[in-house]
Structure 1
Amino acid sequence: MENLALIDSFSEFKDDKQIDRVTLMAILEDVFRNALKKKYGSDDNFDIIVNPDKGDLEIWRNRIVVADGEVEDPNEEISLTEAQKIEPDFEIGEDVSEEVKLIDLGRRSILALRQNLISKIHEHDNTIIYKQFKDLEGEIYTAEVHHIRHRAVILLDDEGNEIILPKEKQIPSDFFRKGDNVRGIIESVDLKGNKPTIIMSRANPIFLEKLFEQEIPEVFDGLITVKKVVRIPGEKAKVAVDSYDDRIDPVGACVGMKGSRIHGIVRELGNENIDVINYTTNLNLYITRALSPAKVTSIKIDEVKKRAEVILRPEEVSKAIGRGGHNIRLAGQLTGYEIDVLREGAEEDVELSEFSDEIEGWVIQEFHKIGLDTAKSVLEHDINDLVKRTDLEEETILDVINILKEEFEE
C-alpha cells in the first residue's frame, strides 16, 4: 500500500533532530488528521492506525450504508450500491470501513502534508530545545564563537544550537575571534514565534557566583555559602561569603594562598578586581567590611531610611569612594544601605555644593572625582598635590581656596 513505510522517508529528521520514533508517529497522525479535515471537512469518522514497529500507517473511513439516492453527507454516508462494490453482502444501516489510500488525498494534499510534517517536526524540535535550555537558566554554559556582529556575538554549542551573547551582556574588555570557546551563564530563554532565543551573559553577577561554585571546592560542596554578589563588570566586584563551620575561614578559602584560587576567576572576568568579604548580621561590621580597603572610624545607621553615615580619617576617604566611585557604590549595593562618607571633624565642615553660587559646578565636580566634597577636605591638601590630582589650573585652585578660607575666617 502507498502508506507503507511512509515514516522511513522522514528518517533524516529522526536522525538529525534526535526525535524518537513514537513521537514522530504521533506527529504524523496529527498531520494526517489535518489533511483529512481539509479534504473531507471532518476527521471524526476516520481511524488512523499507526504501527511504530513496522513504521507504517493505515487510514480507514467509517460510513453508514443508506439507500441509493438518500446520501446527504458523502463523508459519513455511502449508498447501498457503492457499499456492495466493497462487499456484496452489505445492507442498509450497517457500518462500512474503507481504507483511504495516500493517493486518494491528491498530489497537492500530499505535498502540503509533507511540508506540514516538516514544520511540525521543527516545531517539536524547537520545543525540546526551549525546555532543555529553560532548565539551564542561571547555569554556566560553554559555546563556540560562530560569527561576530556589531551588537552581539553568535555562538554555537556542540549540538548546533544558536546562543546570543549581546554586547551589553559582555565584559567591556571581552574580545572574541571565530572559533573561541566562551563561558557565560544562560541568562534567559524565550520562544519567539516557534524558535527559541537563548541569551548568554558574562556581565550578570550570577556568572561570578557560579564561577565561585566551579573553582572553589568548599563553595561547590556547600561548606561556604555565597550570600551576595555585586559587580561593575570588568571593573570591580564584591562578594560576601559565609560558613557555618567555624573551622573554615571563608575569605581565605575563596582567595587561596597568594590569591591562587581566585586568580582564574579574575582572569576569566578580564582582570576584574574582586573583594571577598565575610558576611555578618552585625550591620555596623558588615558596612565596615563592605567599604574595604578603607578603614572606618565610626558609623551612624538609620535603619528606617536605610542610610549609613560613615566617618573616616581624611586619608581614608578616597579609598572608601574608590576609582570612579566604584567602591562606595558596590558597598551600598552589597549592604542595601545608602552610604554617606564624612571626614573626622566634618561636623563644622561645609559641603562644596554649598559654594555653587561662587564656584562653578564643573570645578566642584573635579574635586568630587578625587573624593573631596567638603571645604575642609580641600583646604587640608597641598596646592601642588591638587594640581597633580585634578584637571584644574593652579590659578583656579587658588581662587577656590581663597573662597573656602573666607568661609571659615568669618
Structure 2
Amino acid sequence: MKQKLSFFLLLLSVGIANAQVEEKKLDELVQNTLKTFDVPGISVGVIKDGKVIYSKGFGVRSLNSKQPMDDTTLVGIASNSKGFTCTALAILADEGKLNWDDKVSKYIPEFQMYDSYVSQNVTIKDLVTHRAGLGLGQGDLMFFPEGGNLTVNDIVHNVRYLKPENPFRTTLDYNNIMFIVAGEVIHRVSGLSWAEFIEQRIMKPVGMTSSFGSYNRAKAVANKIDAHAPVDGKAIAVPHDWNETANAAGGIMSNIKDMTTWAEFLLNNFTTKDGKKLVSDKNVQQLWSLQIPSGVAAKNPYDTSFYGYGMGWFLSDVKGHKQIQHTGGLIGTVTQFTLIPDMKLGIVVLTNQQSGAAFNTITNTVKDSYLGIADRNWLKTYGDRMKKMEESFDKQKKEAFAKSETFKK
C-alpha cells in the first residue's frame, strides 16, 4: 500500500512539474510575441474542461503610463461583441418576443434597403449573418473612425442609400452596419439600450463582473488599455477610435477574467455557474450552425474542409473538431476568441496593438498543443511573414515618394 501511495505521489509531482514547464513555455512565448510584433501589452486566458488553467497579462497597458497589463485590464473586444448581440437576440427569441425569420420592418417600420424587394424580405437572421448583400465594410464610414455625429437612427435611415455589392443572401461579406440595425431591434423589443441589455441580461447572470457594454460606460475605470499603432516602424499610443453608435457591432470592454468566464458559459451549453440556461438548445443550434458558407484554401494548416458564419461567430473545422471563433479589431487593438466545444477548450487573446500575427501566434500554438500537433514555431512563421510584408510596404512607399518627386519637377 505504501509503495502504491509513493508511486501515486511521484506521478502527481511529475504532473505538476510538467504543468509548470508548460506554463513557463507559454509565458516565454507571450514575452517573445510582444517583442517580435512590437505589442506593448497582451493578456491571455485558457480554459479547459471547465477550469481556467491560464490567466495572465504581460507588458504594459499603455506606453504613456507604463502601468502593467494584467488579466483584469479592460480591452475593447471590438467585433467579439457580435456574439453577445446574437445571444441577446436568442434570449428574446426564447421569450417569444421575436423570431429569427421575422422581417426587420416588423420592429423598425421605417427601415429600408436600396432594393425594395430586399427591404420587404430582409430578416433578423439576415442582419447577423453578413448575407444581406452589402459589401465588406460597406457603410462603415458612417461611424468609423471616431468623430462622426450620426445617431443609430441616422444609420438605420441611411442604409437605404447603400447600393449592395452582391445579390441578396448569396455571399458572406463581413459588414458592421447590419449589426447596428440588429442592436436597434433589441432596443425596440426590450425597451433597453443595447448596452443595458447586454450588461443586465447577459453579463450579470454569466458573472462578467467587470465588463461594460460600451467604452463610455467604462470611462471611470483606470485599469484599461490605451490603443497603439505602428508609426514609422514603432508602436505609439493613439486615440481610442470607437463610436458609440456601433456598440452592437463592437462596443464591449472586457478583460481576460471575464472573457474566460464567458467562454466557460458558452462551453457549458450557454448555462451560468448557478445552473441557469440563458439560451435554449434550439437556439444554440441556430447560433452555431453554418448560415452562410465561404471558401476554404485547398491546403491549410488545420485540414479545414468548411468555413463560414453562423450568427455572431465564424465556424470551421480544425483537424476534425468544430471550431467557434471570432476576432475583433479597432485602430490600435485586436482580439481573438476561440472555442473548440467537443474538447471543452477556450483560448482568449487580448492586445493593445493591431497585430493579428500576435494573437494568431499564441492561439495557434496553444491550440496545436491540445490537438497533439508538434511545435510548428508559429512565432517564426508569422514573424517572417510580417517582416516580408513590412519590407514590401517600405519598398512601395519609397517608390511612391520617388514618383511624387518626379511630378514636382
Higher strand proportion: 1
Give TM-score scaled by structure 1 length.
0.19
Larger Rg: 1
TM-score normalized with structure 2 length: 0.19
